[in-house]
Amino acid sequence: MIICTHASNVWGIRLPVERLCALAHSYGLMFVLDAAQSAGVLPVNMQDGYDVVCCAGHKGLYGPMGTGLMLLRDGVLPDTLTEGGTGSNSFSLAQPEELPDRFESGTPDYPGIAGLGAGIDFVRKMGTDRIFSHELSLVSALYERLSAQKGIILCTPPPAAASCAPVLSFNIEGLHSEETAAILAKNGIAVRAGLHCSPCAHEAMGTADTGAVRISPSVFTSRSDIMKLVRVIGNAVKR
């Protein structure tokens, strides 16, 4: 199988997953889409031919941390990861064959599932197009202002709707990304710094030594939040 991310969680760069999916199928391979950074923001449709779609629940779906989804096309049925404790046929030592019992050993995380369901309902009500447009406008405004400041390192071109998810990573010259993140945290701004569990992505961009500071706005982020971020970054550059 080919497993491919939909959009980079570090740089926001989108991959041509539709073409890669067609390529995989032309060679008789399954295609697994990692939609952790795109679900809830970009269109993700099983009818595009994906065999499996996996995504985290705590990002664009606004669910609790530790939740997630694995969507399977018809005919795709993975083996079990854990077995036992289903309660639906306690006399049998074998895992039930019927669904969903086959994949529900022990007690599921019902509060997490309910929270993820509420998050998905929220995204459906808002609409992914509306969410994407709002978040991309904030990232675009931030990129424009940071690119005009000396001492700011931007690794990617300006964000474009056709090729990007609303994520922006940067560095301040002379500072490790964790140092920049600490300055922002003191000013009430939460970001993700370091290698983002993606060392190869940083090696490709030449940021393996410093990591990068990632800005990932949400539907609740306002333009005034972005302007505050710009001011704090500007002050850090001056210091």
Q: Please say if 197 is a catalytic residue.
A: yes
Domain span(s) for CATH 3.40.640.10 in the chain = 2-126
For the segment 7-48, what is each residue's pLDDT rounded down to a tens digit? 999 999 999 999 999 999 999 999 999 999 999 999 999 999
pLDDT over threshold 80, residue 179: yes
- What value does the mean pLDDT take over residues 185-195? 97
CATH class of the domain at 2-126: alpha beta
CATH architecture of structural domain 128-238: Alpha-Beta Complex (3.90)
For the segment 81-112, what is each residue's pLDDT rounded down to a tens digit? 888 887 788 888 889 888 888 888 888 899 99
Catalytic choice (4, 155, 197, 200): 197
Q: Write out the H or E segment, with its range, that includes residue 113.
A: helix 110-126
CA proximity to 40, closest of 60, 54, 57, 64: 60
The pLDDT, as a whole number, for residue 73 is 94
The pLDDT, as a whole number, for residue 70 is 94
Q: Is the pTM higher than 0.85?
A: yes
